[in-house]
Chains A and B, each alone.
Chain A
Amino acid sequence: MGTVLGVLGSVGAAVFAVLATAGQVTLFAASALGHCIRPPFYPRLLARQMLEIGYFSLPVVALTAIFSGMVLALQSYTGFARFSAEGAVATVVVLSITRELGPVLAGLMVAGRIGAAIAAEIGTMRVTDQIDALTTLSTNPMKYLVVPRLVAATLVLPMLVVVADILGVMGGFIVGVFKLEFNAASYMARTWEYLKFEDVFSGLVKAAVFGFIIALMGCFQGYHSRGGAQGVGAATTNAVVSASILILVFNYVITELFFAR
């Protein structure tokens, strides 16, 4: 009996801890959004973050998208060949890339690259008193550190996903035309034939939400890091893990909102 109660107690404590953290993240997000619409604004910092998050993430997102498109074409061809549906390859590639793989893979790659960097930078600023120094210099750390990163990530992720969509489809085209010997014109015609506006739009909405999640978790974990280098390391890990999980959860939620019948 005592063991059962002990296990239940541990589970209960873990559930309460998760709920408490969810509440803290929600309050943090609400506070950050409030600061987004109240001056002062820092356009120079916003531009720097857009460059950091967007431009410098282009290579990793581009490579991921191209190879995902290529492998998708190859896999769907070998699968569909079993029931003579090879002609659907182009359609499957474009729908998979625009609806799912573009935003999710870009989100996960940027979570690893940028979420970790944000948590490490803000976490280091926390443990070296730089955030307290901002406050004593009449600068609100939420406005100066959090808002530019949140806004930049939310704006830039959809742009990255547009690039990922184009390159992913191009990867599928390269394999389809040069390896599987599809006719280039008919492959492109098949690509456009079933593609709808909402396929691309849903992916861009996902990207914006994922960008917000990545920056939010990076900022939250960094802002609340404690205990020197070990604390910053833990904040970095937590930022990437929590952002990745939330991306997958919200991917389902948004898909449900757009496509559930």
Chain B
Amino acid sequence: MTAEAPPKIRIRGLSKAFGPKVVLDRLDLDVPAGSSIVVIGGSGSGKSVLIKCILGLIEPDAGTIEIDGRNVLAMSRAERESVNDHIGMLFQGAALFDSLPVWENVCFGLIAKRRISRGDARGRAVEILSQVGLGPEVADLSPSELSGGMQKRVALARAIAAQPDIVFFDEPTTGLDPIMGAIIDDLIVAQVKRLGATAFSITHDMASAQRIADTVAMIHKGSIVWKGPAAAIRDSGNAFVDQFVRGSTEGPIRMEVRR
């Protein structure tokens, strides 16, 4: 009998507060290898802080985050960087380096890790751009010359360029029209499947969540209040999820709005 493989990402008791404001409250979450999980939740529910804690951009106050069974919070900086070598990230606002042309943005990680020379990088970037539906004419443009949808595609190309094991997506469709949002979602699904990677997304766009996810988890006030298959999202039997899916003001979720 073989031991069960650990989940790709295992989070236990993760807590983070900024002053008196508790953002993550003893959060537990498992993400199996090769799956696509989408964490949904309202604004200020702790989604972005959660993803930044996993990426090592914010240091949590308590808890553990294991990737492939190793607690990344206990790692040295060098070990952490080697873990990051196998991670890709698509930021909400694309976060492209506006001092660099598109091709250098796409191959930035490959050049930084010396897996490719600068001389070969442009050609490689053109190949990767074609995987996200962009032509070679885009390679020499500056990010500021691109539309929002194109910037998201370039950011996706950058996220997958190093063929990561895990890809994080922070609000991948925010700021895009519904058609472009669907195109980005389809690209995400296709590329994650091609890589055989584990996908971890956060969004408040329900249509996007259902297109991307195998599993959906709902975060509220820093804790996971529901987790289940994406197909069950509209029939979860959970009051938080039901209110969020309906977009209703009536229910257990109370937004901090002064009237």
Contact = CB atoms under 8 A, between A and B. Distances in A.
A199 B184 CA distance: 64
A130 B92 contact: no
Given A138-B81, A138-B85, A139-B108, A132 B113 contact: no
B32 interface: no
B95 A135 contact: no
A135 B92 CA distance: 16
Contacts of B84: 135-138
Closest 6 CB pairs of A and B: A129-B95, A137-B109, A133-B95, A136-B89, A129-B91, A139-B112
B57 interface: yes
A135 B84 CA distance: 8
A135 B109 contact: no
B60 to A, nearest CB: 16
B95 A130 contact: yes
16 contacts: A121-B99, A129-B92, A130-B95, A130-B96, A130-B98, A132-B55, A133-B91, A135-B56, A135-B84, A136-B57, A136-B84, A136-B88, A136-B89, A138-B81, A138-B112, A139-B108
B85 A132 contact: no
Among A130, A135, A136, the one with the most B-chain Cβ atoms within 10 Å of its Cβ is A136
Interface string A31-56: 00000000000000000000000000
Interface residues of A, number: 12
A22 B212 CA distance: 47
Interface string A163-182: 00000000000000000000
A135 B108 CA distance: 12
Contacts of B52: 132
Contacts, number: 46
Given A132-B52, A132-B57, A137 B95 contact: no
B97 interface: yes
Among A121, A128, A133, the one with the most B-chain Cβ atoms within 10 Å of its Cβ is A133
Contacts of A133: 89, 91, 95-97
Interface in A134-193: 135-139
Nearest to A124: B98
B87 A136 contact: yes
Contacts of A139: 108-109, 112
B91 A137 contact: no
A128 B85 CA distance: 22
A74 B159 CA distance: 63
B34 interface: no
B112 A137 contact: yes
Contacts of B113: 138
B93 interface: yes
Contacts of B85: 138
A152 B57 CA distance: 28
B255 to A, nearest CB: 22
Interface string B75-107: 000000100110111011101111100000000
Nearest to A42: B112
A129 B55 CA distance: 13
Contacts of B108: 137, 139
B240 to A, nearest CB: 28
Nearest to A132: B57
Given A136-B84, A137-B84, 16 more contacts: A128-B93, A129-B92, A129-B95, A130-B96, A130-B97, A130-B98, A132-B55, A133-B89, A133-B95, A135-B56, A136-B55, A136-B88, A136-B89, A137-B108, A137-B112, A139-B108
A138 B96 CA distance: 15
A130 B89 CA distance: 12
A133 B95 CA distance: 7
Interface in A98-145: 121, 125, 128-130, 132-133, 135-139
A127 B212 CA distance: 27
Contacts of B92: 129
Contacts of A138: 81, 84-85, 109, 112-113
Contacts of B158: 137
